[in-house]
Amino acid sequence: MRDPRRWQEPPAPFPPMPPMAPDLDGSPRVRRGDVRAALLSLLGEGPRNGYQMIQDIEVRSRGVWRPSPGSVYPALQQLEDEGLVLCDDGGGSRTYRLTERGAEEAARHLGREAPWDEVARTVPEDRHELRLLWAQLGEAFVHLARTANDQQVAEAKKLLTQTRKSVFQILAED
């Protein structure tokens, strides 16, 4: 018999997303080296911390690409190991800046398309607004989950159920 006082992993709140064909799901295509190129490009404009670079990439790609800390910080460490970047620790934040060699490397990429533009272009234009609307709905959902009373939750459940049905009706029209 299980000890009820022991912590147990809660069940997953949502079922996993079904696999989709890579060219049909509207997700961005990030190639190997895009994170590195983006970081070098941003640092070519001036020193930044990792979080600022993540935010800058998201803004410049119009919300299409937000690299994870798990891809940004190892790339920054690699750039530091290669002598292209220096890291200054101060005030609880690590600020990165290019070395002379790093500036030369960044300059070699100046004439090319910015990596965030390349990644954003991999998402069809008509999907950009759809992704933005989905993100805004997510924000509203988080706010609702934190602050709604029982009646508001019940109304939201009805709305979401009907919305799901409506989306499938749109898909069934073809």
Distance separating alpha carbons of residues 49 and 172, to the nearest angstrom? 47
Q: pLDDT tens across 67-126, in order?
A: 999 999 999 999 999 999 999 987 788 999 999 999 999 988 887 888 888 888 878 777
Query: What are the φ/ψ torsions at residue 9 (nearest 5 degrees)?
Result: -65, 125
Give how many domains the chain has, as a whole number: 2
Only one residue has tokens 């190639």, namely 31
Distance separating alpha carbons of residues 65 and 63, to the nearest angstrom? 6
User: What SS3 state is found at 58?
Assistant: helix
Over 80: is that where the pLDDT of 12 sits?
no
164 belongs to a structural domain: yes
4 belongs to a structural domain: no
| pLDDT class of 52 with cuts at 50, 70, 90 | very high
Could you tell me the residue range of the domain that residue 90 belongs to?
Answer: 34-123
Check whether residue 106 and residue 148 sit in a common domain: no
